[in-house]
């Protein structure tokens, strides 16, 4: 079965560690930050602990659902690893003149949310489709069949092996599920005016109650 190119899910710290442990131990992806810090090289993380030393996993202080932005590069999907240095306007970047990013149509995005107050914000997994990449001229050097197989495997692990429950189209991982049962709201972002509400017997529905 071919999965969608995008999947939102709810995850707290232990859940995010489980996702990352799987990526590092059971796939060929290499994990990079999406953008380097100002005036710095782009960082690659080789283990969950190394990434956790750079970012506080499971916490979303601004409540936007995108506190940690990661890019996954697979040598089975893309021939070349392309890291680009681009210029910054020092007048708007505290005097810094450059930073780095990783590029390519076959990259996989992993954006991590987490706990903000009494809310668990969404995390996001996704990548471009072949059609969209072609439209943007970003399909060169991408093995789309390999990307499909890798993505299906990762999404299967999220949906079927890690998930403790779900809301429509979105897995809820175990620690996030425990928090939801303790009264935490599952929301796209803290400013979203509605939440996903867990139902009895593990079923779920989406409500638009004001919070």
pTM of this structure: 0.90
What does the pLDDT read at residue 206? 45
| The total number of structural domains that make up the chain | 1
The range of the structural domain enclosing residue 80 comes to: 6-207
The answer to whether residue 80 is domain-embedded is: yes
What does the pLDDT read at residue 169? 82
The answer to whether residue 45 is domain-embedded is: yes
The answer to whether residue 193 is domain-embedded is: yes
Which stretches of the chain drop beneath a pLDDT of 50? 2, 201-209, 211
What does the pLDDT read at residue 76? 97
The answer to whether residue 1 is domain-embedded is: no
Q: Which 3-state string (H, E, C) describes the chain? A: CCCCCEEEEECCHHHHHHHHHHHHHHCCCEEEECECCCCCCCCEECCHHHHHHHCCCCECCCCCCCCEEEEEECCCCECCCEEEEEECCHHHCCCCCEEEEEECCCCEEEEECCEECCEEEEEEEEECCHHHHHHCCCCCCECHHHHHHHHHHHHHHHHHHHCCEEECCEEECHHHHHHHHCCCEEECCCCCCCEEEECHHHCEEEECCCC
The answer to whether residue 73 is domain-embedded is: yes
The answer to whether residue 13 is domain-embedded is: yes
């Amino acid at each position: 079965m071919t999965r969608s190119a995008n999947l939102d899910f709810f995850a707290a710290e232990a859940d995010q560690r489980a996702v990352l442990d799987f990526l590092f131990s059971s796939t060929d992806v290499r994990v990079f930050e999406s953008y380097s810090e100002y005036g710095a090289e782009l960082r690659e993380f080789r283990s969950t602990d190394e990434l956790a030393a750079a970012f506080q996993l499971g916490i979303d202080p601004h409540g936007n659902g995108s506190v940690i932005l990661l890019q996954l590069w697979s040598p089975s999907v893309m021939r070349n690893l392309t890291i680009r240095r681009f210029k910054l306007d020092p007048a708007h970047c505290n005097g810094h003149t450059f930073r780095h990013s990783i590029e390519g149509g076959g990259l996989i995005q992993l954006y991590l949310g987490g706990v903000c107050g009494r809310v668990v914000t969404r995390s996001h997994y996704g990548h471009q489709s072949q059609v969209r990449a072609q439209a943007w001229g970003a399909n060169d050097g991408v093995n789309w069949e390999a990307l499909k197989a890798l993505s299906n495997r990762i999404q299967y692990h999220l949906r079927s092996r890690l998930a403790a429950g779900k809301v429509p189209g979105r897995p809820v991982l175990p620690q996030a599920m425990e928090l939801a049962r303790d009264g935490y709201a599952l929301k796209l972002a803290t400013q979203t005016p509605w939440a996903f509400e867990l139902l009895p017997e593990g079923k779920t529905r989406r409500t638009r109650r004001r919070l």
